[in-house]
């Protein structure tokens, strides 16, 4: 049989199988009651079964939101994504409403893919799962290992690791892939501070697995060979296996009296109110969640910094001037300190503009704990709520000439409207890794501008949107040592 006839025979069967799996994934779920509720938000649930999932996941997230805000309402609209009836709450007022009603009207909700990959999130939105999530969040926040007081102690090591990475992977190279090297750097930092491991071979093994998980989290929950979700599940199993090994080694070292300060050690010795230790599987899941949350977001922010600043020599020159000023106040060879970071105001403003134009994380979901009314519309209990930075970041009302890269928007005198710029969320669920991210990013900025000038190899490189923005070819850049006259 010829290849073309074989393809025409097999293709419809494959399509049918795909369709059945989609129906089984989405349609056989218990739908929340909504038909009896009056005054639902305007909007469209989209296609039967799939809803508007494909546009949401694979299109440009800004277009998805802005076109519907124009069509239905600038405050709220309904849609159906990933099998869930969802209300998207928009604008600064919407952000404020959401962030200030945490645990009153809303609680956190993770889409099916995330629930399945991170087993401790479990499947349904039951009360016990909600409590488990709150406990999990406390584990991330309560011991304070991501708070500034604790981070002060990480800073010199963070600087030392960044310098090592620059020497090893950046220096003496004409061309590098900014995205690839940023990922190696952020994972190395995360492995050091969260797991206490330094071995590069172990870390490079993990990089691919984490990339697979990030893609799988933002794909359809179709679990068969060839799908992104299938690959992500395999990667999650491999990481859990590796983490359990690390936990065993750590426990043995702690018994032998070694003193350690990483997040993993804290989790090993932490007990709940009944004095019980956390199970190893649970620790592995939580650490994996922390690594995923803190790895690709930071790497994405660093990568787009390289892109935008690579396009703007004027902005590069200002950042360099600031960083050389920081450098001049220090003894030669001394590592970065907390006060140095506080002086990097212009550099951080540039990062804010990078995160406004290309946010690493778009937004997150919540679950409505009871019926509620917003902007005159009723949202039923059990619906999912989505908030996203895209409803404000490009709005000329808050950011005049929104496409223009202009770090002066964040100057002290220029007050932005409250809740219009929330790259790290807000309220009780504000990203707990915000300060860690700021330190890692500014340490990177300090080291990269001091050493190099760069230009984009392909200024028109496409950005692929799989919920997170990714440069299609990992952002190749041409590097040259900084001319000492550039300042
Ligand atoms: C540029 C880097 C980062 C950005 C833009 C970012 C952004 C965000 C956003 C928007 C949220 C959602 C808040 C919400 O649901 O309202 C979030 C949550 C979270 N982030 Fe980050 N983040 C970054 C880095 C990090 C880092 C480095 C870590 C870990 C060290 C981290 C850990 C977390 C965790 C654990 C949550 C979930 C908190 C919860 O559900 O209560 N993030 N982040």
What are the b/e assignments for 457-466, b being 16+ CB within 10 Å? beeeeeeebe
β partners of residue 365: 109, 386
CA of 98, closest atom in ligand 1: 16
**Residue whose CA lies nearest to ligand 1 atom number 42:** 433
**Residue whose CA lies nearest to ligand 1 atom number 21:** 431
Instruction: Give the dihedral of Cα atoms 332, 337, 343, 344; nearest 10 deg.
Output: 90
For a pocket test of ligand 1, which of 131, 431, 438 has the largest count of ligand atoms closer than 8 A to its C-beta?
Answer: 431
- Please give the backbone phi and psi of residue 85, each rounded to the nearest 5 degrees, phi first: -70, 125
The answer to whether the Cα torsion of 176, 178, 179, 182 is positive or negative is: positive
Asked if 470 contacts 179 with a C-beta cutoff of 8 angstroms, the reply is: yes
Of 70, 90, 65, 78, give the one whose Cα is nearest residue 35: 78
Q: How far is the CA of 424 from the centre of ligand 1 (A)?
A: 6
Task: Find the DSSP H helices in 385-452.
Answer: 434-451
Classify 441 as helix, strand or coil.
helix
Of 177, 173, 170, give the one whose Cα is nearest residue 456: 177
Of 291, 408, 414, 385, give the one whose Cα is nearest residue 41: 385
CA dist., res. 372 & res. 437, Å (int): 34
Is the C-beta atom of 263 inside 6 A of ligand 1? no
Indicate the pairing of strand 84-89 with strand 384-388. Answer: parallel
- 52-57 own/partner pairs: CB under 8 Å, 24+ apart: 52/79, 52/80, 52/81, 53/26, 53/80, 53/81, 53/82, 53/83, 53/220, 56/81, 56/82, 57/81, 57/82, 57/218, 57/219, 57/220, 57/466, 57/467
pLDDT score for 279: 86
For a pocket test of ligand 1, which of 384, 421, 433 has the largest count of ligand atoms closer than 8 A to its C-beta?
Answer: 433
First to last CA, the chain: 69
pLDDT score for 35: 60
Show the low-confidence residues of the chain (pLDDT under 70). Answer: 1-35, 119-144, 484-487
pLDDT score for 415: 84
Is the C-beta atom of 432 inside 6 A of ligand 1? yes
Q: What is the CA radius of gyration of the chain?
A: 23
For a pocket test of ligand 1, which of 293, 422, 441 has the largest count of ligand atoms closer than 8 A to its C-beta?
Answer: 293
Is the C-beta atom of 301 inside 6 A of ligand 1? yes
Is the C-beta atom of 137 inside 6 A of ligand 1? yes
What are the b/e assignments for 61-98, b being 16+ CB within 10 Å? bbebbbebbeebbbbbbbbbbbbbbbbbbbbbbbbbbb
What tokens appear for 64 in the block? 């998805």
CA dist., res. 477 & res. 480, Å (int): 10
pTM higher than 0.85: yes
CA dist., res. 461 & res. 475, Å (int): 7
Is the C-beta atom of 382 inside 6 A of ligand 1? no
Is the C-beta atom of 139 inside 6 A of ligand 1? no
What tokens appear for 71 in the block? 């069509």
Is the C-beta atom of 146 inside 6 A of ligand 1? yes
CA dist., res. 42 & res. 36, Å (int): 15
pLDDT score for 114: 82
Residues in the chain: 487
Asked if 218 contacts 113 with a C-beta cutoff of 8 angstroms, the reply is: yes
């Amino acid at each position: 049989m010829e290849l073309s006839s074989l393809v025409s025979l097999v293709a419809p069967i494959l399509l049918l199988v795909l369709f059945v799996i989609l129906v089984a994934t989405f349609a056989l779920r218990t739908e929340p009651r909504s038909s009896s509720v009056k005054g639902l938000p305007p909007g469209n649930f989209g296609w039967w079964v799939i809803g508007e999932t494909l546009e949401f996941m694979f299109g440009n997230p800004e277009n998805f939101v802005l076109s519907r805000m124009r069509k239905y309402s600038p405050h709220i609209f309904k849609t159906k994504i990933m099998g869930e009836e969802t209300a998207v709450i928009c604008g600064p007022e919407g952000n404020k409403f959401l962030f200030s009603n945490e645990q009153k009207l809303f609680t956190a909700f993770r889409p099916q893919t995330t629930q399945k990959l991170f087993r401790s999130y479990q499947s349904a939105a039951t009360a016990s799962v909600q409590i488990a999530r709150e406990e999990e969040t406390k584990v991330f926040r309560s011991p304070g290992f991501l708070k500034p007081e604790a981070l002060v102690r990480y800073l010199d090591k963070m600087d030392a690791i960044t310098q090592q990475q620059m020497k090893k992977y950046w220096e003496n190279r004409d061309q590098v892939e900014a995205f690839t090297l940023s990922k190696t750097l952020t994972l190395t930092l995360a492995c050091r501070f969260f797991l206490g491991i330094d071995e590069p071979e172990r870390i490079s093994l993990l990089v691919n697995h984490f990339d697979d998980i990030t893609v799988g989290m933002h794909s359809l929950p179709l679990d068969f060979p060839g799908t992104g979700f299938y690959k992500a599940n395999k990667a999650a199993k491999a990481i859990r296996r590796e983490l359990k090994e690390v936990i065993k080694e750590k426990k043995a070292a702690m018994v032998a009296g070694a003193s350690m300060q990483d997040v993993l050690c804290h989790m090993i010795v932490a007990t709940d109110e009944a004095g019980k230790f956390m199970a190893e599987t649970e620790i592995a899941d939580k650490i994996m969640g922390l690594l995923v949350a803190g790895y690709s977001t930071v790497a994405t922010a660093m990568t787009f910094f390289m892109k935008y600043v690579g396009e703007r020599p004027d902005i590069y020159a200002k950042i360099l001037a600031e960083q050389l000023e920081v450098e001049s106040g220090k003894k030669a060879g001394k590592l970065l300190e907390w006060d140095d970071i506080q002086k990097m105001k212009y550099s951080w403003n540039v990062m804010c503009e990078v995160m406004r134009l290309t946010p690493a994380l778009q937004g997150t979901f919540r679950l409505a704990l009871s019926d509620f009314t917003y902007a005159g519309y009723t949202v039923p209990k059990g619906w999912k709520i989505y908030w996203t930075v895209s409803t404000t970041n490009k709005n000329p009302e808050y950011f005049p000439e929104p496409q223009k890269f202009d770090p002066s928007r964040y100057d002290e005198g220029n007050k932005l409207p409250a809740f219009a710029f929330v790259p790290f969320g807000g309220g009780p669920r504000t990203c707990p890794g915000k300060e860690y991210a700021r330190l890692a990013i500014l340490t990177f900025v300090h080291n990269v501008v001091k050493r190099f000038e760069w230009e984009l190899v392909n200024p028109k490189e496409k950005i692929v949107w799989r919920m997170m923005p990714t440069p299609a070819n990992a952002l190749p850049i041409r590097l040259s040592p900084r001319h000492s006259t550039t300042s």
